[in-house]
Structure 1
Amino acid sequence: MTEQKKPTEPETVSCEVCFKEIPISQAKSVKSTDYIMYYCGLDCYDKWSKQEEKPEK
């Protein structure tokens, strides 16, 4: 008999900004010193980077 491969769901990650679940193969990532942050697209990455630029009160 031949073994049939079962279709598997792609591995997903959450966008750091909108928390949308996206396949890891389509995610944009930024490597930090301790971890990798994933974004669903450049719009979310831009929102995150602008948020980081704001000084905390």
Structure 2
Amino acid sequence: MKQNRSSTTGDSEVIEQDKIVVPEVVSCDVCFKEIPLSEATSVKSTDYIVYYCGLECYDKWKKQEEGSESLKDS
């Protein structure tokens, strides 16, 4: 449980946090935009996890994967 320390200076109250937690950030594998891990959409690929900032980038990645699979079959 986080504890906050507060002190009063004049009429304003100042709240100090013991520890500020910065969210973990990942990059979209299509557009490389940095997004918080909690907001990312992910797909487990063969040996790794692929992150996307949204459905638009996921669709682009999926089409690239389908295209590369059809080239392997030829």
Shorter-chain TM band: 0.7 to 0.9
- 2:63 corresponds to: 50
**Pair 1:15 & 2:44 matched:** no
CA RMSD of aligned residues (A): 2.0
The structure richer in strand per residue is 2
The structure richer in helix per residue is 2
Q: Which runs of 5+ in 1 are unaligned?
A: none
- 1:34 corresponds to: 47
Residue type matched to 1:16 in 2?
A: D
Residue type matched to 1:22 in 2?
A: I
> Equivalents in 2 of 1:46, 1:39: separation in Å?
10
Structure with the greater alpha carbon radius of gyration: 2
> Equivalents in 2 of 1:25, 1:42: separation in Å?
15
Q: Which runs of 5+ in 2 are unaligned?
A: 5-16
> Equivalents in 2 of 1:53, 1:32: separation in Å?
13
Among all aligned residue pairs of Structure 1 and Structure 2, give the percentage whose two residues are the same amino acid. 69
Output the TM-score relative to the length of structure 2.
Answer: 0.65
